[in-house]
Amino acid sequence: MFKELNPLLHSELRLAVMSLLISVEEADFVYIKEQTGATAGNLSVQINKLSEAGYVEVVKAFKGKMPCTTCRITPNGVEAFEEYVEALKSYILPKS
């Protein structure tokens, strides 16, 4: 009856990151940090977990002399997010 929820996406911060990235082409680390209210250290750890799972692509570059980390959701990330949302619906809208 209830579908299994992806434990990687069930984390509040990782889910917030994925929710942001699904709606934009890419976002820089500072924007994600501001939108989620996360600390830089915690956000970095969670983005790394998403990257290791193949859900997020991380590009590190420089804008002038300042480092800039940009994230974008991968096709695997889109699929995982959509599956998570569908699984969550089974809890919210159970079939009678």
Listed as own residue / partner, the contacts of 85-93 with beta carbons closer than 8 Å and 24 or more positions apart are: 86/3, 87/2, 87/3, 87/4, 87/5, 87/6, 88/5, 90/1, 90/2, 90/3, 91/2, 91/5
Q: Report yes or no on 6 lying in a domain.
A: no
> What CATH number corresponds to the domain at position 24?
1.10.10.10
Please state the domain count of the chain.
1
In a domain, 1, yes or no: no
Helical pair 75-92 and 12-22, crossing angle rounded to 10 deg = 120
| pTM, two decimal places | 0.90
Answer yes or no: is 84 within a domain.
no
Residue 61 belongs to some domain of the structure: yes
Whether 94 is in a domain gets the answer no
Residue 35 lies in a domain: yes
Give, for all 96 residues of the chain, the pLDDT tens digit.
788 999 999 999 999 999 999 999 899 999 999 999 999 999 999 999 999 999 999 999 998 999 999 999 999 999 999 999 999 988 887 665
Residue 20 lies in a domain: yes
Asked whether residue 82 is domain-assigned, the answer is no
Asked if 76 contacts 50 with a C-beta cutoff of 8 angstroms, the reply is: no
Give the structural domain span for 18. Answer: 12-76
Q: Which pLDDT score, from 0 to 100, does residue 59 have?
A: 96
